[in-house]
A and B are shown apart, each in its own frame.
Chain A
Amino acid sequence: AQSVTQPDIHITVSEGASLELRCNYSYGATPYLFWYVQSPGQGLQLLLKYFSGDTLVQGIKGFEAEFKRSQSSFNLRKPSVHWSDAAEYFCAVGTGTASKLTFGTGTRLQVTL
Chain B
Amino acid sequence: EAGVAQSPRYKIIEKRQSVAFWCNPISGHATLYWYQQILGQGPKLLIQFQNNGVVDDSQLPKDRFSAERLKGVDSTLKIQPAKLEDSAVYLCASSPRKGTTDTQYFGPGTRLTVL
Contacts and interface: CB of A to CB of B under 8 A. Distances in A.
Interface of A: 4, 32, 36, 41-46, 49, 51, 90, 92, 94-106
Top 7 closest A-B pairs, CB basis?
A103-B42, A43-B106, A94-B101, A44-B106, A32-B101, A43-B108, A99-B101
A44 to B, nearest CB: 4
Interface residues of B, number: 26
B85 to A, nearest CB: 17
Interface of B: 4, 31, 33, 40-45, 48, 55-56, 91, 93, 95, 99-109
A45 B106 contact: yes
Contact of A90 (B42, B45, B48): B42
Contact of A105 (B41, B102, B105): B41
A12 B86 CA distance: 31
